[in-house]
Structure 1
Amino acid sequence: MIPRSLLCAALLWFGMAGVLTGCWDTKDINKRLMPVVMGICKNPDQTYRIILQIPSPEKKGSQYLESSSATINKAIDHIRSKAEKSIDLLHIRLFLICEKTAKSNINDIIDYAVQANDISIKGLLGIVRGNFEQLMYHHVQANPELSSYDFFSEQAGWTPNNTIFRLWEAYRDMKSYTQDMAIPILSKGTDTLYKFEGSAILRKDKIVGEISSDETMIYNIFQEKYTGGTIEVSDQASVLIKKATIRNQIAWAASGPQMNSHIRLNVVISENKQHEAEADISQKLKDLVEMRGRKLIGKLQEEKADSLGVGKYFRSRMTEEQLKDWKLVWFPQLKHEITADVKILNSIYLKTPGKMKNAPQRPDEQNR
């Protein structure tokens, strides 16, 4: 019979062994570098230049590491070899690709990032316009703790005039017959880190055009990513959009695909210097949204890039051959009608003199 003391010792030993083997390869957080931004650009000799931005509390800003090589993976290995700490890529939130590389091909960049085991596919994408190095190393002295990611956060600096595009979406769209990309374009800011200059339109894996910030707002409504923003209806009036929804109806006639998109906007008039009637402001906003929508559709059809993804609504009505030809043949022939319906909400929010409604009085105030 096995002595009880020996049995207890054996159980304790096996228990400790199980616990220890579960964390044998862990590293202290003080021994790790966790980049949040990766910049990628092809050099003239076709090598990849990689710049990593790493938050540095000691420097009250960021630390930068960079290297170049024939492949992205090799460039990362070069950075690791000269870093004083282990580099953990899992925390990268933003991938910035220089414009000249995006105009050529981003397929290998997206494939690398998606297939890498230590990179999150939820990372955001941006296109860098202008001097790539200057933007990557740019920081704001007055606000050193500002994060590059804040400009893409709905809880921070992001606005509906900018796109939010993730790594997994880029991988999906490169393989899709009915969806293309719209990636935000950034340039170096003056008093801020970045300046947004609209969105780049990519067909498959390279830039074929771009849309303005105003057109990007319509794009976000189509993508159901609109969270509210301000539109100037005229030089003297502006409205705050509280809610934006869209309803699409499709048909496939003898002449080809047809689509009707109806946009519903709930707005509050935030400025009205000339005391225009609500009906006039509503009509102006309706005309403005419909005009921007038609301009956006026309530009995408000209570039044969279905960044709105309208082709997905027709997938069940197309043969396999039609599906493969959607972007080059059928999307440019699409007859797309856009209409808008504007509802002005309670004008208690108005700040225009003479137009503010009186707030309801409390019972104790009414008796005074």
Structure 2
Amino acid sequence: MIRRSFLPVILLLSTLSALLTGCWDTKDINKRLMPVVMGICKEKNQEYRIILQIPSPQKQGSQYMESSSATITNAIDNIRTNSEKGIDLLHIRLFLVCEKTAKEGIGDIIDYAVQANDISIKGLLAIVRGNFDEVIHHQINANPELSSYDFFSEQAGWTPESTITRLWEAYRDIKSYTQDMSIPILTKGTDTLYRFEGSSIMRVDNMVGEISSDEVLIYNVFQEKYTGGTIEVADQSSVKIKKASIKHSVKWTASGPQLKSRILMKVEILENKNEESEEQIASKLKQTIEKRANKLITQLKKDRADALGIGQLFRRKMNEEQIKNWKQHWYLNLENDITVEITILNSIYLKSPNKIKKPVS
């Protein structure tokens, strides 16, 4: 006979045993395919063409599965139907959209990816220029699926001359009245997997223009994502940016919004073949950055795309109606002034007796 004092213990063990059976529907990893890259392109008949890049240790590379349909969901379901294993989309790290589709609009693609329960919203976005198939299927080593992601990794191949946009950021910007985005443009590389061709200018969900790699530096500073890089100041000199930050002063006057921005840069001189003074190099760098910044803002206003997110700085100063009309009216009438302050940290890479004590502004 079971003693009554043991009954609670027995009931507890029975309950735990029942809970342990909750993993009955899991699939063995050998029965699953885990794509890391998804290519998306609209065809002439407006059907979505979906290409999944899946790591294949047996092939020492990748295998590719694709399908076309009127909807992205149905195209993926068709791939699943023709696959001998289950397809798990949770591991997709990179979404490649062809340039033609980006110009038509990517809103439906972003909506699908964000609303799908089995796709991570941390996935990265890029626009493919040129032959879509060649870029998707391009391989340079035995592990192209890793190279695809590392190309955008801040701990690996990513540089400040390129942008990084994730699914959740794209979804946020598409729904925003006061902010747009920029998505990197890729072509097939030669020695590398991809080659950056600058970044797109997106107005809501449409690609309306592009900015060069040089101007991407300004974009990343405004986004507070700049982590340092090398700039050629002139033909015979270059500097390494150790730190870059930005400070804003906003004002709403009777005529509309006014923005004054100060970009603060701390740099080290790498090359100085003309043996210019540090003051001369700092002055040239200041002029170069200010020229790029003003050119970028002029172009963005012309395209009516607030990719720098300037409208976010004025949200507290606008009423609801002004927020809704930001891109169509107030942004176009924005008065902006950008100044750059350069501080030379040291002359460790060259022999020069000149040193700047104060930043050039």
TM-score range, shorter chain: over 0.9
Other-structure match for 1:203: 203
Other-structure match for 1:307: 307
2:6 & 2:283 partners in 1: Cα distance? 88
Matches within 5 A, 1:215-364: 215-348=215-348, 350=349, 352=350, 354-355=351-352
- State the 1:312 CA deviation: 1.0
SS of match in other structure, 1:292: helix
AA matched with 1:43: E
Unpaired segments ≥5 residues, structure 1: 358-368
Other-structure match for 1:103: 103
- State the 1:60 CA deviation: 1.6
- State the 1:141 CA deviation: 4.0
TM-score normalised by the chain length of structure 2: 0.94
1:110 & 1:156 partners in 2: Cα distance? 26
AA matched with 1:60: Q
* Structure 1 residue runs of 4 or more that deviate by more than 3 Å after TM superposition: 1-14, 141-146, 354-357
SS of match in other structure, 2:165: coil
The verdict on how the C-alpha distance between 1:6 and 1:317 changes in structure 2, with shifts beyond 3 A counting, is: closer
Number of aligned pairs? 353
SS of match in other structure, 1:343: strand
SS of match in other structure, 2:51: strand
- State the 1:85 CA deviation: 1.3
1:145 & 1:81 partners in 2: Cα distance? 23
- State the 1:73 CA deviation: 0.4
Task: Using the TM superposition, name which of 11-20 and 323-332 deviates more.
Answer: 11-20
The verdict on how the C-alpha distance between 1:6 and 1:314 changes in structure 2, with shifts beyond 3 A counting, is: closer
Task: Indicate if the aligned counterparts of 1:266 and 1:343 stay in contact, CA closer than 8 A.
Answer: yes
The verdict on how the C-alpha distance between 1:145 and 1:33 changes in structure 2, with shifts beyond 3 A counting, is: closer
- State the 1:184 CA deviation: 0.4
Deviations 1:45-70 (A, max 9, x none): 11100001111222221111111111
1:214 & 1:118 partners in 2: Cα distance? 37
TM-score normalised by the chain length of structure 1: 0.92
Other-structure match for 2:359: none
Deviations 1:248-271 (A, max 9, x none): 001112221110000000000011
Matches within 5 A, 1:1-368: 12-21=13-22, 23-141=23-141, 144=144, 146-348=146-348, 350=349, 352=350, 354-355=351-352
AA matched with 1:281: I
Task: Indicate if the aligned counterparts of 2:60 and 2:142 stay in contact, CA closer than 8 A.
Answer: no
Other-structure match for 1:365: none
Q: CA RMSD in A?
A: 1.9
- State the 1:41 CA deviation: 0.3
1:241 & 1:256 partners in 2: Cα distance? 34
Deviations 1:110-155 (A, max 9, x none): 1000000000111110011111111101111487575201111011
SS of match in other structure, 2:270: strand
Task: Indicate if the aligned counterparts of 2:239 and 2:267 stay in contact, CA closer than 8 A.
Answer: yes
- State the 1:19 CA deviation: 0.8
AA matched with 2:18: A
Identity in percent:
66
SS of match in other structure, 1:30: helix
Deviations 1:140-189 (A, max 9, x none): 14875752011110111100010000101111111111000100001111
SS of match in other structure, 1:182: coil
- State the 1:223 CA deviation: 0.4
Deviations 1:60-94 (A, max 9, x none): 21111111111000000111111121111011111
The verdict on how the C-alpha distance between 1:102 and 1:72 changes in structure 2, with shifts beyond 3 A counting, is: same
Deviations 1:167-221 (A, max 9, x none): 0111111111100010000111111111101111111111111111101111000
2:145 & 2:32 partners in 1: Cα distance? 20
1:42 & 1:356 partners in 2: Cα distance? 60
AA matched with 2:166: R
Task: Indicate if the aligned counterparts of 1:60 and 1:144 stay in contact, CA closer than 8 A.
Answer: no
